[in-house]
Amino acid sequence: MGERLSVDALEDLATQFRLAAAREPRSRQWRFGPHRGVVVSLAALAIAAPALAITRPWNPVLSRTGIDGPVSTDPSPVISSARKALGVLRRPQTTEDRQRTAPLVKVIGAGNQVAGVQTEFIRSVADRWALVPAKSVTTGPSSTASDQLCLTDGTSIACGPASSVGTTGITALSATTTETRYAGLVPDGVARVRFTTKTGARETAEVASNFFSLNVSEVAPPRMIDAPPGFEGPSRIPGPPTPVAGTLQWLDRNGRVIGPQQPSR
């Protein structure tokens, strides 16, 4: 939507005016083709028109019917430092964003932890992945974290602080019985990520829309846990699959390492 303003706070206000405009009902207007004598500024509008974001408000379903409670939404923009770091947040939301993420974001209400979802900034970052900014996430019995960026694949959610996405990124880590799965957000300028396990195995993945996803065919040795009460068998059994430990690096398009080494698990 036009050239970026040089002052971030003004850019912030631009987004707010866009949202305010979206809340206004559009009036009916006969539309005509170009008239003679129309000033040049209309031509500028015609050029800009294809880049205009969809403006009607969006109310996605953010909880599973009969399971989760309602999830609040928030019209304010994502904090400016995160928008500065992530190009995917600076581009307007599209119809495709809404269509692709609608089935995924129903899980956001799970556990009643996420509040103030900034729906205008939800983005489809990959097939079956949605970026969902939220004003707060409950992290403990009496603690909440504000201004979070969450990733969901429709079955689980991982969140991290929007304020540090430019320096540390946001990472979602999980494991099956046979592989470790890494997905996450990285700032502009990161073209690929490389994950190296402690055994030296390496996987790389391309970054698109500030998002990456990679799978490593390795998991950590299973941790033994106490068997549940009433279990007939050994008192100690293997616990759930654990991601393999390793290091994640960010690479630019020339292959230089530009990102901080992620702490290994």
Partner 1 sequence: MFRHRAPNTILRRSVTDPAAFEIFYRTHAESVLLFLTGRTLDPHLALDLTSETFAKAFAARRRFRGSTEHEAGAWLFRIARNELFQYARSGKIERKVTQRLGLSVPTLSDDDVEVVDRLASLAPLRDAVRAHFGDLPHAQREAVDLRVIQEMSYPDVASQLGVTEATARARVSRGLRELRERMTTRSGELSWVND
Could you tell me which stretch among 23-31, 134-142, 174-182, 223-231 binds partner 1 (CB under 8 A)?
23-31
CB 54 within 8 A of CB 92: yes
* Residue 19 or 219 with smaller CB distance to partner 1: 19
Give me the amino acid identity at 130: A
Asked if 91 is part of the footprint of partner 1 (rule: CB under 8 A), the reply reads no
Asked if 227 is part of the footprint of partner 1 (rule: CB under 8 A), the reply reads no
Smallest gap from residue 33 Cβ to partner 1 (A):
9
**146: Cα separation from own chain's centroid:** 15
Question: In 3D, which of 77, 135, 76, 132 has the Cα closest to residue 104?
Answer: 132
CA 97 – CA 54 distance, rounded (Å): 11
Q: What order of strands is seen across the sheet that includes strand 211-216?
A: 170-175, 180-185, 211-216
The three-state secondary structure class of 19 is helix
The interface with partner 1 within residues 232-251 (CB under 8 A) comprises none
**222: Cα separation from own chain's centroid:** 30
Q: CB-hemisphere CA count at 13 Å for 19? A: 17
* Residue 156 or 167 with smaller CB distance to partner 1: 167
Smallest gap from residue 252 Cβ to partner 1 (A):
23
The interface with partner 1 within residues 41-80 (CB under 8 A) comprises 41-42, 44-45, 48, 52-53, 55, 75-76, 80
Asked if 36 is part of the footprint of partner 1 (rule: CB under 8 A), the reply reads no
Question: In 3D, which of 195, 166, 191 has the Cα closest to residue 182?
Answer: 195
Among 6, 65, 143, 199, binds partner 1 (CB under 8 A): 6
Contact positions vs partner 1 (CB under 8 A) = 1-3, 5-10, 12-14, 16-24, 26-27, 29-30, 32, 34-35, 38-39, 41-42, 44-45, 48, 52-53, 55, 75-76, 80-81
